């Protein structure tokens, strides 16, 4: 619930509106686990809240990875018994949480484990933000970055993802900087346009994973509905309207999109788009695709030495515990 929702609640119980700010603060800034911990609220209000509302709709079923590890994966259970996975990653001073936005995914990208589940349902705003609040308790240091790159396609749960980002960013609550929140999409063009028109300040990442329409179709069925040329057009529109760079994510698959000609084709595709390119060596999930050798990855990257955009490589953390990009799945 946002602050307006909290105001509606306290008004219903004939309390002063300032009580809403207190409740909001206890939930999102102090991260309490029960209404009884809200010390400055009247006893009757705490009883009413306890009788009618739930603070956190998730519970931790399993944690994979030691507390000292750089990456830990959390299996979480929703109120209806459905399960999701979230990932907590440490890198120097940066603590990043990878949030899920759906239970399963409808896109069916062949290289992604979540895609094998199909779509079960969207997560609510509460279930999305609850991942952050739960894992914050498990983290030794404050979480500095949020990426909507877990289970599901965020732009197919657009309203709930945006509302969740707004709650994470709210100055009277969690107060995470907008540029520390990244929403990643496989390329749902109408929502890229909507996101642009609504002027959201959160970072935008696009899972490109191919340099041509034919190549994208081999691994990402969504390319049939939203062709690569239309996707690039929407990204250019985003940049023109917002002046923000987009990050293109490019999962490197052996013998699919990792050749020198693929690199040159990719440069031609995005060189006139103000962007960053994040190359991600594939994390295997037991299917038909393979991860290129480290030498092959370096050969691919060598083609970008004179590129007009910044190129980074994400050597995925957590692949050893199936917590890397594309490896989240609940059977």
Could you list the active site residues? 85, 325
68 φ, ψ to 5°?
-85, -10
d(CA 14, CA 181): 36
Q: Are 273 and 226 in contact (CB under 8 A)?
A: no
Joined together, the tokens standing for residue 195 give 């996101």
Identify the helix (H) or strand (E) that includes residue 121: strand 119-122
Q: Are 117 and 82 in contact (CB under 8 A)?
A: no
In Å, what is the CA distance from 92 to each residue of 70, 96, 310, 313, 331?
9, 11, 21, 17, 33
Joined together, the tokens standing for residue 33 give 């686990």
Spatial CA neighbour of 248 closest among 274, 227, 230: 274
Q: Which residue's structure tokens are 């308790």?
A: 137
């Amino acid at each position: 619930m946002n602050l307006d929702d909290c105001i509606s609640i306290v008004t219903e119980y004939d309390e002063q509106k300032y009580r809403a700010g207190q409740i909001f603060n206890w939930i999102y800034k102090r991260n309490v686990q029960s209404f009884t911990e809200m010390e400055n609220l009247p006893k009757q209000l705490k009883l009413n809240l306890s009788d009618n509302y739930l603070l956190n709709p998730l519970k931790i079923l399993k944690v994979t990875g030691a507390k000292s590890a750089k990456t830990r994966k959390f299996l979480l259970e929703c109120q209806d018994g459905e399960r999701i996975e979230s990932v907590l990653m440490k890198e120097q001073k940066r603590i990043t949480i990878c949030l899920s936005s759906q239970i399963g995914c409808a896109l069916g990208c062949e290289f992604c484990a979540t895609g094998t589940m199909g779509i079960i349902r969207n997560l609510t705003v509460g279930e999305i933000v609850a991942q952050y609040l739960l894992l914050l308790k498990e983290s030794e240091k404050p979480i500095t970055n949020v990426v909507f790159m877990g289970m599901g396609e965020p732009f197919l749960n657009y309203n709930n993802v945006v509302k969740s980002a707004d709650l994470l960013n709210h100055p009277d609550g969690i107060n995470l900087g907008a540029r520390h929140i990244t929403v990643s999409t496989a390329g749902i063009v109408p929502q890229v346009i909507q996101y642009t028109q609504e002027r959201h300040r959160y970072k935008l990442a696009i899972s490109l994973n191919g340099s041509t329409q034919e190549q994208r179709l081999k691994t990402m069925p969504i390319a049939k509905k939203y062709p690569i040329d239309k996707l690039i057009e929407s990204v250019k529109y985003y940049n023109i309207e917002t002046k923000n760079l987009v990050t293109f994510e490019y999962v490197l698959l052996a013998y699919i999109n990792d050749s020198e000609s693929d690199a040159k084709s990719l440069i031609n595709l995005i060189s006139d788009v103000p962007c960053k390119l994040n190359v991600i060596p594939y994390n295997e999930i037991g299917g038909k695709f393979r991860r290129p050798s480290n030498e092959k990855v370096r050969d691919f990257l060598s083609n970008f030495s004179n590129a007009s955009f910044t190129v980074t490589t994400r050597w995925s953390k957590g692949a050893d515990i199936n917590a890397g990009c594309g490896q989240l799945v609940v059977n």
